[in-house]
Amino acid sequence: MTTTLTQQAIAADALAALLPASTPLEATPWPVTAGEIPASGMSTLSVDYLGAVSAELAITLPSSSERAIREAGGPGAISAADILRPALEAAAQTLGSGVLGDVGEGASAALFSDPETNVFRLTEPGNSVAFAWFAIRLRSNGTRPATAAATVSAQNMGRIHDVEMALSVVIGHTRMTVANVLGLEPGDVVDLDRAAGAPADILLNGRLIGHGEIVVVDQEYGIRVTKILDAAETVG
C-alpha cells in the first residue's frame, strides 16, 4: 500500500517535472524542523483538488523564479496561475481521478506550517537556492461517524428536494503546454488519456459519484450509468 509520504512525494515529482525551470528540478522533503521555510513575502499560488483522494496544494515562489516562469509563458497577459496550472494538475492526477479547482493567488502560511502538510523544496541540481516550495495536505475521504447532527429526517430532506445541482461528465483529461494551447486551431485533434469505450466520470457539483458510458438519445448525447460509488469511494 502506498504510504501518505510516498503519495505526496510522487505528486511533488510530477509537479517538479513540469515547472518551467532551466534544468529539471529535484523535489526534496523539507520538514519545518529543518529550519528553512518559505518567506511570507514570496508569491504563492494555491488550489483544492476533489477526487478519489482530495488535497490542498500550494506553490511558493521567490521573485526570481516568478520572473522566470512568467518569461516562459511568452509575450501576452498570461497569469502565473495559468502557466503553473499544468504542473499542479500533474501533481493532483497522481492522487487519482478528480477535479482541480481554480488556482488562486494569496498567502498560505497556515498550510505550510500545518503538521499534516508535507513540504518539498524544489531545487535545480547543484544549486543551493530553492527554485520553489511545494506544499500538499491530503484530506480523508472515508466515511464519517454518524452523529445526531448528521441524522436527517424525511421532513428535512423535503426542504432541499427542489435544490438544483450541476451534474457533469468527464470523458478524459490531457496536459498541454501554454504554447500548444495558444497554437490550437479549428480542426485540431486533442488526445485524451482514456481509450475509446472507457467509462466516463460522473460528477455532482464537482464530486465524483459514479461512472457511465456515453450514449446518443434522439441525436443528443447522454450517459448510461454503470456504477454508483458508495460513501467510502466518493469525496467526503
Q: What is the DSSP letter of 150?
A: G
Grid cell for residue 10: 510522487
Q: Are residues 123 and 23 in contact, defined by beta-carbon separation less than 8 angstroms? A: no
For domain 162-228, the question of CATH label 2.30.330.10 is answered with yes
pLDDT band, very low/low/confident/very high, at 135 (cuts 50, 70, 90): very high
pLDDT of residue 4: 52
Comparing 180 with 151, the larger pLDDT belongs to: 180
pLDDT at 152: 44
Which ranges of the chain does DSSP label H, i.e. alpha helix? 4-18, 63-72, 80-93, 109-113, 154-157, 178-182
pLDDT band at residue 72 under the 50/70/90 scheme? low
pLDDT at 21 over 60: yes
Q: Does domain 4-139 have CATH number 3.40.1550.10?
A: yes
Region 44-64: mean pLDDT is 85
Q: What pTM did the predictor assign?
A: 0.57
Average of per-residue pLDDT across 158-184: 82
Q: Calculate mean pLDDT across residues 130-142.
A: 81
**How far apart are alpha carbons 75 and 44 in whole angstroms?**
22
CA distance 142 to 138: 12
Residue-wise pLDDT tens digits, 175-229:
888 888 889 999 999 988 888 878 888 888 778 888 898 888 888 888 988 888 8
Amino acid identity at 218: D
- What are the extents of the domains in the chain? 4-139, 162-228
Encoded amino acid at 68, one letter: A
**pLDDT band at 11, cuts 50/70/90?**
very high
pLDDT for residue 30: 81
Q: Which pLDDT band holds residue 20 (cuts at 50, 70, 90)? A: confident
pLDDT in tens, 110-134: 788 888 889 999 998 888 788 888 9
